[in-house]
């Protein structure tokens, strides 16, 4: 098993992606159709989103799950 896969920080990655696209939590939440509290909780790792929830959030960027979980740096 790959250690990096186990240690993947969804919250930190979401924040990195969101900031790279110059979006506030509110803007991303509005685009994705979720509350800004949801975005905040995910970024703080206070909740672990389901795959479908994460996909919904990422549609507001837009970004695929594969792109999100890739280890490549953002463009």
Model pLDDT for residues 20-52, shown as the tens digit of each residue:
999 999 999 999 999 999 999 999 999 999 999
**pLDDT confidence of residue 23:** 97
Going by C-alpha positions, the residue among 38, 35, 29 that lies closest to residue 11 is: 38
Please provide residue 17's backbone torsions phi and psi, each rounded to the nearest 5 degrees.
-65, -45
For residue 40, give both structure tokens. Answer: 């905040």
Asked, for residue 32, whether it belongs to a domain, the answer is: yes
Domain that holds residue 41: 10-63
Rounded Cα distance between 13 and 8, Å, is: 8
Whichever domain contains 26, its CATH number is 1.10.260.40
Helices (H), 1-75: 3-6, 10-20, 25-32, 36-43, 51-59, 65-69
Domain count, the chain: 1
10-14, 15-19, 64-68, 69-73: segment of lowest average pLDDT? 69-73
């Amino acid at each position: 098993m790959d250690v990096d896969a186990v240690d993947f920080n969804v919250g930190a990655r979401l924040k990195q992606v969101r900031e790279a696209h110059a979006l506030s939590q509110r803007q991303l939440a509005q685009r994705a159709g979720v509350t800004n509290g949801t975005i905040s909780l995910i970024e703080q790792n206070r909740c672990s989103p389901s795959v479908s929830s994460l996909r919904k959030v990422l549609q507001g960027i837009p970004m695929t799950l594969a792109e999100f979980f890739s280890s490549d740096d953002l463009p």
